[in-house]
Amino acid sequence: MKNLLLSLLVLASFSIWMTSCGGGQSKIDEIKANSIKTPADPMADWQSNHGVGPIKAFELPESVDQALVTTGQGVYNAKCTACHKIDKKFIGPSPKGILSRRTPAWTMNMILNPEEMVQKDPIAKQLLIDANGSPMANQSLTQEEARAILEYFRTL
Ligand code: HEC
């Protein structure tokens, strides 16, 4: 009797484990099926894509603000390196040269508002698919911290 109970328990936890970890393809199907349609090439019109979130389109000043870079590098090292590496793709993409493929506002919105971005923005949605459904974490940064990281990204 005790053994039977035990095996039922093992069986039950196994099926819970199976359903909770059954990410992979079904997770990707779910992303693909959600609210917005992904255009054929979501990256194509990146220059006019400012993302979804608190930051509206803006232009970076011509010169790099070194003090802001130092602040940004500190925040990045503390809150982002668990998933991002400068020199290669890790859990998330490398941020190197990001401003040659994303606008400043898009980049800040991705940092500040990733949950909504992967729902509503075609590029973010595609990145989530490319990352096999593993999401970018919202690190609850202030807008000032996100702006500082953006300045740091300019130097990579
Ligand atoms: C838990 C892991 C994780 C953490 C922590 C994390 N990210 Fe991400 N990030 C990702 C993943 C995964 C993606 C790819 C998109 C997706 O799957 O949503 C991503 C995407 C991005 C992108 C878009 C990259 C591109 O090529 O367009 C930026 C910018 C970014 N992250 C910045 C940051 C910053 C800045 C921090 C720290 C404040 C951070 N991330 C923390 C996992 C993470």
**What would the pLDDT profile of 139-153 be if each residue is shown by its tens digit?**
999 999 999 999 999
Closest CA to 153 of 83, 60, 82, 91: 60
Distance 137 CA to ligand 1 centre (A): 7
Pocket probe for ligand 1: among 50, 75, 83, the residue whose CB has the most ligand atoms within 8 Å is 83
State which ligand 1 atom lies nearest to the alpha carbon of 146: 35
Q: How many Å apart are CA 148 and CA 76, to the nearest integer? A: 9
- pLDDT, one tens digit per residue, over 33-83 is 665 666 678 888 899 999 999 999 999 999 999 999 999 999 999 999 999
Domains of the chain in sequence order: 24-154 (1.10.760.10)
Ligand 1 in contact with 117 (CB < 6 A)?
no
| Any ligand 1 atom below 6 A from CB of 147 | no
Residues 9-22: pLDDT tens digits?
A: 555 554 444 444 44
pLDDT computed for residue 20 by the predictor:
47
Closest to 58 (Cα-Cα) out of 152, 143, 156, 155: 143
Contacts by 72-75 with C-beta closer than 8 Å and gap 24+? 72/145, 72/147, 72/148, 72/149, 72/150, 72/151, 72/152, 72/153, 73/152, 75/141, 75/145, 75/148, 75/149
* Mean predicted lDDT score pLDDT of the chain: 86
